[in-house]
Chains A and B, each alone.
Chain A
Amino acid sequence: MIEIRLHGRGGQGAVTASRIIATAAYEEGKYSQAIPMYGTERRGAPLTAFVRIDDVRVRERELVHNPEISIVLDPLIAKQQAVVNQLKPGGLVILNTAYPPEAVKIGGDFNVATVDATTIALETLGRPITNTAILGAFAKVTGLLKVESIEKAIKKFFPGRLGDMNIAAVKRSYDEVKGPIQAVVKEAPEQKVDIHVGGYGVLKDVSSWRVFTPEIDVDKCIGCKTCWIFCPETAIQWDEEKNKPWIRFEACKGCGLCANECPVNAIKMVRVEV
């Protein structure tokens, strides 16, 4: 049996990706199971999903605790050591990042492959929904499933033009994936964070939710407080002395509302550096 864990954020389609893999496996005559980690995930919140593939019917209904493969759909989550927590020794991690596998900083006894799925998704779908843009890489580096089966499965989930666009994303990711190579960093301390669910209540730091981040041009700012009154997360703070805003980044989800409302366009949303 092969066990896979997927990390993503609400809205990136990690749960759909898990179902596409499971469906593709079934297409190839295998048994499979796709389990979403249950929570009340909101758009942008980190979440986890799991897949099992086997030649016989999968009986266990516990979550996957020691995956062979970890697939990370989000470039910021991909920087966290926790994505390889409890990964089987010699396992494989597939990261959505613009960097080659040689530059990956997370460490341990595993192989790593990388693909810039966000750029692929933005260019083929027009939105940073990276679930299909990582599956081509998955097909290529694992060799577990044929890319045709994945495409067939995608057609079931997204009929018509949307399906074609997603298949284009799969193809590009198949071609552009780099690696796998053995992780360059051999040892790294385990990161004891829960990257499974966004939760329901107060969170500590939502920086990893941002794909775009607000940048304030304080010189342009006229001190109207529009951004401050509208930020749902009170991420925009007001410096009364200077009469200018500043951002509490741990609370900013990168919604872009402040930039959209600023009457003098003093706030720009820029793609997060990863």
Chain B
Amino acid sequence: MVGNKAAATAVKLAKVQVASAFPITPQTTITQYLSEMYAAGEWDFDFVNVEGELTSQVVVQAASRTGARTFTCTSGPGLLYMHHPMQTTGSSRLPVVMAVVHRGYKGMQPDHSDLMSQQWTGWGHQYVEHAQEILDSVLMAYKVAEDPRIRIPIAVGYDGYVLSYTAEPVEIPAQEEVDKWLPPNKAMPSVLPDEVDPSTFARGWGGGDPQMPWKVHHEAILKIEEVLKETMDSFEKTFGRRYGNGMIEEYMMEDAEVAILAMGTIAGTCKAAVDRMRKEGKKVGLIKLRSYIPFPVKDFREWAKKLDGIAVVDRSICPGKGGPVFAKLRDSLFDQEEKPKTLQFHAGLGGKEVRVHDFEMIGDKILKAAKGGKVEQVTWV
């Protein structure tokens, strides 16, 4: 099953009620799968065929307000076009789930600049590695987003082509089990004329501390950490699979001296590199970052105490500023007493292939730096 089919299958398993999307490579086939599912009437599902991404975002936003479970998906330029209503979905605290099939701005090949550029819209941002993880993460995203403690939209990002169009085996959970594990969504609060709280009618603008909505929104997103970790446990219990603690997934980290931090498909390549380096006796592990927003600050602070070095591989860059994951990691560790050496690697931008031997080079560099060797701070892989 290809990555996009895994996403569409998750939509079906979650019994999404209203979905809307506009085609764009490499997301296009999800739009087609959803249209086929609608046409086949496989379950009580409505698919809105729209004239642009902005509309698809607003359609799911409004449908979500009514209490329906909703889904949309896009890539690169389509995501940028959605930027404006994404902030409304975020600010309105609507549990929309969106698949972002990464596509860079400079060319059609994937990097993470599309989703990274949406940091201010008030969503949870997750990055996944393979087709099984897409399916599982979309299901978990509903569970987290719809939790009464959260009510925050979640974007699940995965790389175009190498994942969206790449076929690999995927286990599909039984519908009855999903139904039991993921109860139906409902509007919070109800918006129906006969149920709505009439005291909300006369509400005007202004009054109160204008900063308050930002604080509340920020804190709700931070709470995703706790709920995602819980959800990962219950997911494993029900379906027998897990991805670390939900925020990060560790690979060969038990006795690691240094770690490579990577996200998305290239984290898989990195696992292969770690295997090779381990055979050579190099104590290198991988920390796969799954949740960029909220950022696993606590987990990294724990790891900081044990590690001598962390190599951060950013698959996006804010031009003139640098890699966002590197900056956020260093920010998390700045006032910690024990800090590992950190290096910045720019890799996979514009879809540039990142190969196993590239990660071996990254591993060697961080090992050298950790031992006090002289290594340049920033490397373009």
Chain A min CB distance to B233 (Å): 45
B202 contact set on A, CB distance < 8 A: 201-202
A47 to chain B, nearest CB (A): 13
Among A40-61, those with CB < 8 Å from B are 40
Taking a contact as CB atoms under 8 Å apart, the answer to whether A39 and B204 are in contact is no
Inside 8 A of B203's CB, which chain A residues have their CB? Answer: 201-202
- A22 touches B (CB below 8 Å): no
Interface residue tally on A, bucketed by range: under 10
Q: For A203, list chain B residues within 8 Å (CB).
A: 204
A199 within 8 Å of B (CB atoms):
yes
| Least distance between B277 CB and chain A CB atoms (Å) | 56
Chain A 18-75 residues near chain B, CB threshold 8 A: 39-40
**Residues of B with C-beta under 8 A to A201:** 202-205
Q: How far is the CA of A40 from the CA of B204 in the complex (A)?
A: 12
The reply to whether the CB of A197 lies closer than 8 angstroms to some CB of chain B is yes
Contacts of A202 in B (CB 8 A): 202-204
Nearest-Cβ distance from residue B198 to partner chain A, whole angstroms? 12
Query: Is B206 interfacial (CB 8 A cutoff)?
Result: yes
**Per-residue 0/1 for A196-207: is the Cβ within 8 Å of any B Cβ (1 yes, 0 no)?**
010111110000
Chain A contact surface mostly = loop
Q: In this complex, what residue of A is CB-closest to B205?
A: A200
CB closest residue in chain B, given A200: B205
Interchain CB contact under 8 A, A197 and B204: no
A201 to chain B, nearest CB (A): 2
Measured between C-beta atoms, what is the minimum distance from B113 to chain A in Å?
Answer: 35
> In chain A, residues 226-271, which have Cβ atoms closer than 8 Å to a Cβ of chain B?
none
Chain A residues within 8 Å of B205, by CB: 40, 199-201
**Using a CB-CB cutoff of 8 Å, which residues 128-176 of chain B contact chain A?**
none
CA distance A202 to B206 in the complex (A): 11
CB distance from A19 to the nearest CB of B (A): 24
Within 181-210 of A, Cβ neighbours of B (below 8 Å) are at 197, 199-203
> In the complex, A197→B202 CA distance in Å?
17
Which of chain B's residues 184-212 have a Cβ closer than 8 Å to chain A?
A: 202-206
Q: Give the CA-CA distance A201 to B206 in the complex, in Å.
A: 9
CB distance from A70 to the nearest CB of B (A): 22
Shortest CB-to-CB span from B203 to chain A, Å, is 6
* Alpha-carbon separation in the docked complex, A203 to B205 (Å): 11
Alpha-carbon distance between A200 and B206 when the two chains are bound, in angstroms: 8
Residues of B within 8 A of A200 (CB): 204-206
A45 to chain B, nearest CB (A): 12
Of all chain A residues, which has the CB nearest B206?
A: A199
Give the CA-CA distance A201 to B207 in the complex, in Å.
12
Name the CB-closest residue of A to B202: A202
In the complex, how many angstroms separate the beta carbon of A56 from the nearest chain B beta carbon?
31
Nearest residue, chain B, Cβ from A194: B207
- For B206, what are the chain A residues with a Cβ–Cβ distance below 8 Å? 39, 197, 199-200
Neighbouring B residues of A40 by C-beta, 8 Å: 205
CA distance A201 to B208 in the complex (A): 15
A197 to B204, CA, bound (A): 12
In the A-B complex, list the 5 residue pairs whose CB atoms are closest, starting with the nearest: A201-B204, A200-B205, A202-B202, A199-B204, A202-B204
Interface residues of B (CB under 8 A from A): 202-206
A-B contact pairs, 15 of them (CB 8 A): A39-B206, A40-B205, A197-B206, A199-B204, A199-B205, A199-B206, A200-B204, A200-B205, A200-B206, A201-B203, A201-B204, A201-B205, A202-B202, A202-B203, A203-B204
Q: Which A residues fall within an 8 A CB radius of B?
A: 39-40, 197, 199-203
